[in-house]
Chains A and B, each alone.
Chain A
Amino acid sequence: MTRAHIQRLAFGLALLTAHGAFAATPINESRPLDPRGRVEIENVKGSVEVRAWDKPEVKIEGSLGEGVERLEIDGDREHLSIRVKYPNRSGMGVFGGGDKSEPTDLRLMVPIRADLDIDVVSADVNVEGVASNELSIDSVSGEVTVAAAPREADFDSVSGDLMLTVNSSRVSAETVSGDLNLRGRLDGEVRVETVSGRVDVSTLNTRVQKLSGSTVSGDIRINTALANNGRVTLETVSGDLDLTLPKNLSANVRGESFSGDLAAPGAQINRPKHGPGSSFDHRYGNGDGDVSIESFSGDATLRLE
């Protein structure tokens, strides 16, 4: 491609971008909301960015994509619903190629303790600073990035990655093929589940009460500590499983695999004389907690650090 071609291409792209910018409709709305009210947000494509402040008010800015019917804001001080409405579509609805609407970008300021329920298709979601009772995000292919401290959090994605830094006492996160990355002060229950996505969980100076992780073909890597009588259950079919716990672990640990390799410090791996499979059952410390790692063909490793 010659330099002239590249210049013409760049000029064309610039024109297209400029057209998109002019076509989008600016959003600038505000609504009162109780400090512990609830906000529901729906946007099919584009982005949703949420930040927190101390005001009892929701501020909505951004741009409505060309072809979008309207931004619908319903509700009252306790419960606010913000939806990007699309014209009647044919075929597969929001998934279909018939929808020619341009992406909509939403930027919201919400009360720091307000509950959030966000539902998107391909829009990326970015939430920072909220400390609500409940935070729920549902995405199909958009990426979800969160840095927040909700009491309870629920994340669900199909193919979009989940990149979560949360301080929370209950977290549930699942994907089909998206990777799942969870960090933070997690001292209660954690449930992570993917089909083929990679799971990576790391707790920060906290000890979980109950952690369960499951994949079919995705790898699982967990780095955490166990509360007294806590429980960790990890299972995978063909993914590799890597669990790191503190050296002073007090738990009974069981491992089992059909054809994968098992490894655990000090544990004797038992293999039947006839037939496949291997397993171990080993007590660390006083054996207060309960840990189970199981795979079909993936390798499963326990590390103490």
Chain B
Amino acid sequence: MYQYTDFDKQFVKLRAQQFRDQLERWERGELTDEQLLPLRLQNGWYIQRYAPMARIAVPYGEISSTQLRTLARIAREFDKPAPELLAHAQATQDALQDAQPGATLPAPPLRYGYGHFTTRTNCQFNWIPLSRAADVMDLLASVGMHGIQTSGNDIRNITCDALEGIAADSIVDCRPFAEITRQWSSLHPEFSYLPRKFKIAFNGAEEDRAAIGWYDIGLQARRADDGSVGFTMKVGGGMGRTPIIGSVVREFLPWDQLLNYIEAVVRTYNSYGRRDNKWKARIKILVKSEGQKFIDAVEKEYKAIVELDGAPHTITQAELDRVSSHFVLPELKAANLPSKVSPQGQLYQRWLQQNVRGHKLPGMRTVTLSFKRPGFNTGDADADTLNALAQLAEQFSAAEARLTHEQNLLLPWVHESDLPALYEAARALGLAQPNIGLLTDMIICPGGDFCSLANARSLHIGAAITERYQDLDELFDLGPIDLHMSGCINSCGHHHSGHIGILGVDKDGKEWYQITLGGSDGTDLSGPAIGGKVVGPSFTAAEVPDVIEALLGTFRELRRPGELFIDALRRIGHDPFKQAANSMRRPKADEATLTEHD
């Protein structure tokens, strides 16, 4: 992972100092809430339903054991609501539950003391009081961590494929390019008050595992016939109310022009993006409405940057080499720990099949630890687990781990010979479910239990589906399925890109769920990125698990031998699936009441 220079370390510390000063001025009344808002967002601090939420950046998902221990300390010492706040929050959630009579699912109690892994490889905490925010940022800065631009209308933290640089199908290791772009975008004087957030993703492998079609800027690394490196650049993808896949603006942008071209795109967006309507302010709307005119404007701006401004941010070979050299290949020692795992055991074999992948280096493997387990919310790790992960990474993966887009944690440097012992250790921690890529490996946002934007809760639906699909034979029979769920149209749970998508909506204070089919994030399995299509009117929470079961039942009935869910859906069309889903509607509560009184 990237080793910070003295400048980088100092920069993060100064940023924490600056934020402390801003918070103090706010406490003294020198800054209004409205004036503080973008400043705290640009440091990753939201105010949520009951408490602030801190979003900590984990660039490219890469995290060290030392950093994991710091997150553990934050989970234990800081992620704690005052008893009265927790009681109030739980009572409010209970009232929400009571307002959905006969239409909902059992709701797990609100939890605290957890770090939550997100689809953009951040780690979020839900209960830290704002009065302790500055201390948390200082603590994070002591291990090179921060929340810089994890929120706000700026260039957000940059993401990559979790297997960047280690994948068997790697073309180019994009991490140095992502880091160069991260540095360029950090505290950018011109681009800190954009019309809306701006997200950039890189993918350096043959397969798109970074969902780049869904990004404001998506960059796919390419190698030309002469060996030179460049990027296919897509602009204007995004989810939300208007799901759009990015348009290709450059088939092959030479790598040294990366910052110059991004500057042209962001300046065009800053100047012409809509600011009158929050829902129409993302660059995707500008690209969609202007089409070729937008691309022409960007090209014109790029030409001016190169010809008139002297292209000062052209990346030099020396800089690429310098940053690349900071992604130090760690010393790869095998743990050689004894193991009692039977190599032929079915569970172990299933784990090898689902959770272990090939590696660029011979004899090495990547292992995904599953954070999709009964009794826990998707992507949640408490202090004990975070500490155990730190130790596991030290023992088996050169003290490094990676957060993944799918809200799991991956160990990037595992010796093949260590797999049985690692399996045993992961199993003891409850992190060895062999469900990676399967139905229960769901992407789920925190939803209406925590988020102030949410229209409906998501965690209780995740819990119900997890519980219903515990039979591994059944899960393996169903095969790979992307189930994504968001508690509102902001789409943090990427429901648009799920083979099955679930979207929470609110109607008159009641929670409803829209189901979509056929979405794709852009992986080989799912095909080119596309948004799913709605099956019909929305369902109650209570109906959702039945709808999922009906969809899967239809799949099992109609599939050809060996056919995958997404392939069957595309071959057959959505109609029989829609019918099955719609047949799961229960009589509405008021209708049922009428019938009783009749």
**Is chain B found bound to chain A in the same assembly?**
no
Residues of chain A touching chain B, judged by Cβ–Cβ distance below 8 Å, are none
Residues of B at under 8 Å CB distance from A? none
